[in-house]
A and B are shown apart, each in its own frame.
Chain A
Amino acid sequence: FNRPAVLSKSKKTLSKPGVRNVVLVEGVRTPFLQAGTTYADLMAHDLARGALQGLLNRTAFPKEAVDYIVYGTVIQEVKTSNVAREAALGAGFSDKTPAHTVTMACISSNQAMTTAVGLVASGQCDAVVAGGVEFMSDVPIRHSRKMRKMMLSLNRARTLGARLSLLGSLRLSHLVPELPAVSEFSTAEMMGHSADRLAAAFGISRLDQDEFALRSHVLAKKAQDEGLLTDIVDFKVPGKDIVSKDNGIRPSTMEQMSKLKPAFIKPHGTVTAANSSYLTDGASAVLIMSEEKALAMGYKPKAYLSPTYAIPKVLERSGLTLADIDAFEFHEAFAGQVLANLTAMESDWFAQNCMGRKAKVGAPPMEKFNLWGGSLSLGHPFAATGCRLVTMVAHRLKKEGGQYGLVAACAAGGQGHAMLVEACPQ
């Protein structure tokens, strides 16, 4: 029931007596492409289907053995509001396997995985597929509220006269379309704007941000060239080529990057197109199982999963410190945001005044941090990023021979997610 006590290092493990060990068996993703490129004519569920099929192909897992599917998405395509179900059916999963969609901004697939871990840990399921998809090449643009109201009334109008009088009320302003909210509903602030303020609050300079973004791209390029990004599964776009590589990795030079004007706060802001993650299309999926079932079915699980919210909590619960962590994978929405987070973790003032802690958490060492690139370079299809992070950290632990990995991500609405990942014995 419990995992073997013998491990490569003498550290304790995360396993708890009486609780099933939950493992990551495999994780895959479609290549992440800049919005408006090769995926442009697809729909969200196409990419999701690609990731799900890729997962099945990679694992040769029997479809009927999947007990549940949880999938994340942020910008909803109204035609496929439960995109999890549409993609699962399309990918040939059993119609007896229930599927639901979750949304929690940039940590949607983190939440999907957390749900999966919970289902497995509680014994309700043995094998759950979690994942996320984001499709930014096409977003639902609506008629204005006035127009919608008129059209709905038109539906109910019984007589020609009533219809004509409704049509007569049509004004030019009715025709102004409504774009999906770029800014948060509760604060009316755009993410990039918020990131710029955050960077300013922590005194993160433009130079720091550009350097960090460059690091992300350089490391991603290296990982790509060395063939480390093995979580990618090929995706065939109908009528086009087979896509097998991310297309947003572009190491630039500091000089070129310094030429860009601020994208949000003008003219004195520090967040630019180059030090922000870009609009991305992509999907990811992971197979999460109980360890015993995985082993019984002959799989070699990659990592143990133990999610909760936010880093200090997750560490304290598991009795670990930052020094115990071998690989860090943090979501990079904006260079300024990552650096601000790292600065906050290093700050006693922040710990005392904003977290109710006695002392700082401490920041992760850069030599263990996002070594294969991050969202800035690989791309950030909002709801697909969480699974990418977890799979990547599992792969890194394997490659680097580490035991513990830590995944952290932030999301709109002031939410955050952290997950501890422990390498399974080889």
Chain B
Amino acid sequence: MALMTRRGAGSAGGGPRSRSQRVHARALASRVCASGARTAMASARVRAAGALARSAFSRYGHFSANGRRSLSASAALLARTHVNYEVKDNVAVIRINDPTSKVNTLTRQLQDDMMEVLNEVWGNSAVKSAVIISTKPGCFIAGANIDMIKVCKSAEEVSKLSKEGQMMFEKIEKSPIPFVAAVNGTCMGGGLEFAIACHYRVATKSKKTVMALPEVMLGLLPGAGGTQRMPKMLGLPTAFDVMLTGRSIRADKAKKMGLVHHVIDPLGPGVKDPEERLIEYLEEVAVGVAKGLAKKTVTVEKKKGLMQKVQDAVLGIPLVRNQVYKTVTQKVMKQTKGLYPAPLSIIEAVQAGVEKGPAEGYHVEAVNFGKLAMTPESRALIGLYQGQVACKKNNFGKPEREVKSLAVLGAGLMGAGIAQVTVDKGVATILKDTTTEGLARGHDQVYKGLNDKAKKKSITTFERDMTLSFLKGQLDYSGFEKVDMVIEAVFEDLSIKHKVLKEVEAVIPPHCIFASNTSALPIREIAAASKRPEKVIGMHYFSPVDKMQLLEIITTDKTSKDTTASAVAVGLKQGKVIIVVGDGPGFYTTRCLAPTLVEGIRILQEGVGPKKLDSLTTGFGFPVGVSTLIDEVGVDVAAHVAEDLGKAFGSRFGGGNVDVLKTMIQKGFKGRKSGKGCYVYSAKKKDKQVNSGTEEILKAFKLTAPPAVSGDEDVQYRLVSRFVNEAALCLQEGILADPVQGDIGAVFGLGFPPCLGGPFRFLDSFGADKLVQKMKRYEDAYGNQFTPCQLLLDYAKDPSKKFHK
């Protein structure tokens, strides 16, 4: 009966483990295949890219096509399904729950119900204050409904939606009685705008309680008063930070920022479901606050600290504010290269409100919201968000047995990374290496990964230790007779892969799955050494494994469906976004990357310097430039892949001379890991210098550029067209099952410009015909590596054909 005393024993709303299970919205696209996670990733561009793990806009949202309903009382009562209320001690408790969905979104129905309830509440003189609460577990309001915006045909239509939202929230803000928002669970986008229109906010510290304005990640802006209220509430700098990054804010942080007034702790199990009781408890506390507000024993205003006062005073000077707008704009331009219109629109709406008053502010907000919704960037980002959601599902059914213990072979960068994301989810993991040194290094990597989280306070040191206890490092195969899955991450050499496969198969149980983490070796060739090829599958992780969201799963024609289901289940547990592709040299991602890199080398040979090449690629929207990418991937790895795939695919993978890379390797320029590649890296200097040694090599391999196809724009399109053509070929050949996975793989694995939404979305918006025209020009100048594939030609011929609906 030791009920008291322990949070772990009575773990509420997610004990220590569930914290780590939460998938953070991560700036994925920033980190390209095998790139080190070194660059700071606060950029709006990058945020916009990826990571819409939870969004203001939910795909679950159910769009009610009924339009406005009759307002006759009885009909209204009957029809009111999303919002209801009761009056408790002069407090109107308004409860939200969308019965048609797992989450609450601001649908037409919900808004209509809400307005009706609000009018009744305001008409009731016995009501002195009100509480807004959601009875849906884990969700206050996830945001506006994305479909509501998608069906709109014009900017004006979307603006109208925005204005309706603005109006409803303004009514609440100006309400004669005080409103308390009681927040438990997701409170994003329109949900947060709703909450900040209320006079007081109470939030639970549940792990599920997350506040954010992530519209910018979808190429939009907070269109229901967010750009107007946020600066008043948080001050200009913080408001810009919140709106331009779309970052998630937990309850305790929100309290510190002044976004919520009061927080309450989650509860452990009692005499009913903890979440259910937590919502009741939240309501009890909120009702108490509401009563206090009505009686004026509780005040809304919080005391401002000295720093806040100073900041307010300084920002009271118009000149200073102008400087703030200027600085923020410059920062955004630097990070987005002007490719993303949303952040600039946000700044504009904020500025209009602060400088010209609320009428103008709200107007600009609504107009800009409408404009943004019509931009291809927004469509691309929404497509990525929805694609990402789709790639977080297991379409292969429930595996026959859950993988409860797993072994990783090879404690290198990849192996340790895979081990880290596995133990992180409480799966017992054996990390096997051949040397104690290797093992120690791998163990340290896992520890460091977890410890970094502890330092950032996203987990406690206790949770770190507990998680680490799932990891077992060893040099032999003991215990392998009990594992459910083995993932090998040994050196990329077919004979070594065969050797470990045979060793492993001698010890593992019959049901155990053998997965190979390879970036280019065909799985069927690895499986050739297996006694049970139906249990062999490819799981291609991206480096750094704990940061990169993508997992590319490769199935051969012999891989069983259950094996695939199991691999996907493991990947999902590890928090990955998953594409499942067919087998072949380079699969999908590496196959798209290789010709792009080869073209990059060609461009370098033509005398475009590494820095120029980088700025041209990032200028197109790639988060990492091609020269930097070669260094991050490793010159040796790049050479290896280029040569292997060159052999497999012939002249289509030609262009640049692989000997450039080989010479670089000879001189020890292996990329960042060796300190020199295209650039020289030093621990201290932030600004990297071009490696003169590499420049000399490039001179030796110099090629003359045909002037007709070597302008800046042509250089960009040469790179992109080779990428896109190869992606289209993968779809044509059936390596890819659909364009959605192709887009997700390219953006989340390789850093294809998120504003373009992936190669297929790019083809839809840019036009396959236009790209084919360009490619034909390049083909004339360079040869058949630019020959557009049949699928591209088909789409070019018929402009009504689109990859995405």
Contact = CB atoms under 8 A, between A and B. Distances in A.
Nearest to A196: B265
Interface stretch (A16-24, A316-324, A345-353): A345-353
Interface stretch (A57-65, A87-95, A199-207, A294-302): A199-207
B268 A201 contact: yes
Interface stretch (A127-135, A163-171, A379-387, A408-416): A408-416
B65 interface: no
Interface in A161-213: 184-189, 191, 193-195, 197-198, 200-203
Interface string B241-271: 0000000000000000000001011111111
A19 to B, nearest CB: 25
B26 to A, nearest CB: 26
Contact of B2 (A186, A187, A414): A414
Contacts of B4: 191, 194-195, 198, 333-334, 337, 340-341, 410
A201 B279 CA distance: 11
14 contacts: A185-B462, A189-B7, A197-B267, A201-B267, A268-B288, A340-B4, A347-B270, A347-B271, A350-B269, A410-B2, A410-B3, A410-B4, A414-B6, A416-B1
B270 A412 contact: no
Interface string A324-364: 00000000011001001101110101100110000000000
B268 A187 contact: no
Interface string A362-386: 0000000000000000000000000
Query: From DSSP, what is the main secondary structure of chain A's interface residues?
Result: mixed
Contacts of A197: 7, 10, 12, 265-268
Contacts of A345: 1
Contacts of A413: 5-6
B68 interface: no
Could you say which of B12, B262, B265 has the most chain A C-beta atoms within 10 Å of its C-beta? Answer: B265
A415 B2 contact: yes
Contacts of A418: 1
A333 B262 CA distance: 27
B271 A203 contact: yes
Given A188-B460, A416-B1, A202 B271 contact: yes
A341 B272 contact: no
B267 A410 contact: no
Nearest to A187: B7
A88 to B, nearest CB: 30
B628 to A, nearest CB: 40
B97 to A, nearest CB: 21
Given A188-B460, A194-B7, A268-B285, A343 B271 contact: yes
A417 B5 CA distance: 13
Could you say which of A200, A268, A353 has the most chain B C-beta atoms within 10 Å of its C-beta? Answer: A200
Interface of A: 184-189, 191, 193-195, 197-198, 200-203, 265, 268, 310-311, 333-334, 337, 340-341, 343-345, 347, 349-350, 353-354, 408, 410-418
B9 A349 contact: no
A410 B8 contact: no
A408 B1 contact: yes
A201 B277 contact: yes
Interface of B: 1-10, 12, 262, 264-272, 274, 277, 280-281, 285, 288, 460, 462
Given A198-B268, A268-B285, A191 B277 contact: no
B310 to A, nearest CB: 25
Given A265-B265, A347-B271, A353-B269, A201 B1 contact: no
Nearest 6 A/B pairs, CB to CB:
A416-B2, A414-B6, A414-B9, A201-B270, A337-B4, A201-B267
Given A187-B462, A201-B10, A310 B271 contact: no
Contacts of B271: 202-203, 343-344, 347, 349-350
B270 A203 contact: yes
Contacts of A410: 1-5
A340 B6 contact: no
Contacts of A337: 3-5
Contacts of A188: 460, 462
A119 B8 CA distance: 32
Contacts of A416: 1-3
Contacts of B285: 268
A350 B7 contact: no
A200 B204 CA distance: 13
B755 to A, nearest CB: 42
Given A197-B268, A200-B281, A341-B1, A412 B12 contact: no
B277 A203 contact: yes
B5 A201 contact: no
A182 B725 CA distance: 63
B6 A341 contact: no
B2 A201 contact: no
Contacts of A414: 2, 5-6, 8-10
A135 to B, nearest CB: 22
A311 B1 contact: yes
Nearest to A353: B269
Contacts of B272: 349
Contacts of B274: 201
Contacts of B288: 268
Given A268-B285, A353-B269, A194 B1 contact: no
Nearest to B11: A187
Contacts of A353: 269
Contact of A343 (B2, B5, B12, B270): B270
B205 to A, nearest CB: 10
Given A203-B270, A343-B270, A347-B271, A198 B3 contact: yes
A268 B292 CA distance: 12
B255 to A, nearest CB: 13
B267 A344 contact: no
A283 to B, nearest CB: 23
Given A200-B267, A202-B270, A413-B5, 9 more contacts: A187-B7, A189-B7, A193-B265, A200-B277, A201-B12, A201-B277, A265-B265, A268-B262, A410-B4
Nearest to A311: B1
B6 A412 contact: yes
A188 B265 CA distance: 13
B269 A354 contact: yes
Given A200-B281, A201-B277, A194 B269 contact: no
A189 B4 CA distance: 12
A348 to B, nearest CB: 9
B91 to A, nearest CB: 15
A237 to B, nearest CB: 32
Given A198-B268, A201-B277, A349-B272, A310 B12 contact: no
A189 B460 CA distance: 12
Could you say which of B12, B267, B460 has the most chain A C-beta atoms within 10 Å of its C-beta? Answer: B267
B12 A194 contact: no
Contacts of B460: 188
A344 B9 CA distance: 14
A201 B266 CA distance: 9
A267 to B, nearest CB: 8
A30 B41 CA distance: 63
Contacts of B12: 197, 201
B269 to A, nearest CB: 5
Given A188-B460, A197-B12, A344 B265 contact: no
Contacts of B3: 198, 337, 340-341, 344, 410, 416
Contacts of B2: 310, 410-411, 414-417
A343 B12 CA distance: 18
Contacts of B280: 203
Contacts of B6: 184, 187, 189, 194, 412-414
B8 A187 contact: yes
Contact of B8 (A186, A340, A411): A186
A284 to B, nearest CB: 21
A186 B462 contact: yes
Contacts of B264: 265, 268
Nearest to B268: A201
